[in-house]
Amino acid sequence: MIDLHTHTFFSDGELVPTELIRRASVAGYTAIAITDHADKSNTQWLLENIVDVVDEIGAANNIQVLAGVELTHVPPRSIADVAQLAKDNGAEIVLVHGESIVDPVMPGTNMAAIKAGVDILAHPGLITAEEVQLAADSGVCLEITTRKGNSLTNGHVVKLAEKYGAKLVINNDAHAPNDILPPELVHKIALGAGMTEDQFHQAQQNSAELVARGKA
């Protein structure tokens, strides 16, 4: 199991990176990404604190760890620039906090993130057919999430992704220890969102490809 969306106490999570990594490893994950909430003000600072330590901590716990960010409430016109800032400062993966129906995300965020070519558009809410088609064409992965609230539109995302051929990934969006769900439960949540077994395994393969690309 791979989870490419987690948070530490560097943003609104509860755990230091080492504990997050340890708990994910013990839970049965083979790779995770640390993706704390970021905007232009803290992107460089966040990455300075994790880029040089994730490989060492990951190796000690037999798990691959990517250093990344989740761009959150960044104005759509600035997303491409801040995503590039993250990459320039060592981010191995870049997520954008999508237009979840439970958060006041600016309209246009989903489209701007896809056009910027970020790695994952997290919990994209009631994403449009046009946006899903563009994500499919651009290779941007759409997230199916286990997190309460954000997961309410999983079925909508699965349905459109299947129709237009967009790539999916499955993440916990973990903020606390109990958010690191057992892989068996993640599997059930994915099936409950309407994914087939083949789609579930393909989503894990999509995540594995992002890990390989991030570590290349």
> What is the rounded average pLDDT for all residues in the chain?
97
What tokens does 155 get? 């079925």
- The structure tokens 């459109």 sit at 160
> SS in 3 state form for 46-88?
HHHHHCCCHHHHHHHCCCEEEEEEEECCCCHHHHHHHHHHHHH
pLDDT at 199 (0 to 100): 97
pTM: 0.97
Q: What is the mean pLDDT of residues 49-53?
A: 95
- Going by pLDDT thresholds of 50, 70 and 90, the confidence category of residue 121 is very high
- Going by pLDDT thresholds of 50, 70 and 90, the confidence category of residue 5 is very high
- Are 3 and 172 in contact by the 8 Å Cβ rule? The answer is yes
Q: What is the mean pLDDT of residues 72-94?
A: 98
pLDDT in tens, 128-144: 999 999 999 999 999 99
pLDDT at 26 (0 to 100): 98
- Are 18 and 55 in contact by the 8 Å Cβ rule? The answer is no
156 vs 164: CA distance, rounded Å: 12
Q: What are the Cα distances from residue 189, in Å, to 96, 142, 155?
A: 22, 16, 10
pLDDT in tens, 149-184: 999 999 999 999 999 999 999 999 999 999 999 999
99 vs 95: CA distance, rounded Å: 13
Q: What is the mean pLDDT of residues 36-59?
A: 97
pLDDT at 185 (0 to 100): 97
Q: What are the Cα distances from residue 28, in Å, to 1, 188, 198?
A: 7, 16, 21
Domain 2-215 carries which CATH code? 3.20.20.140
Domain chopping of the chain, boundaries: 2-215
pLDDT at 20 (0 to 100): 97
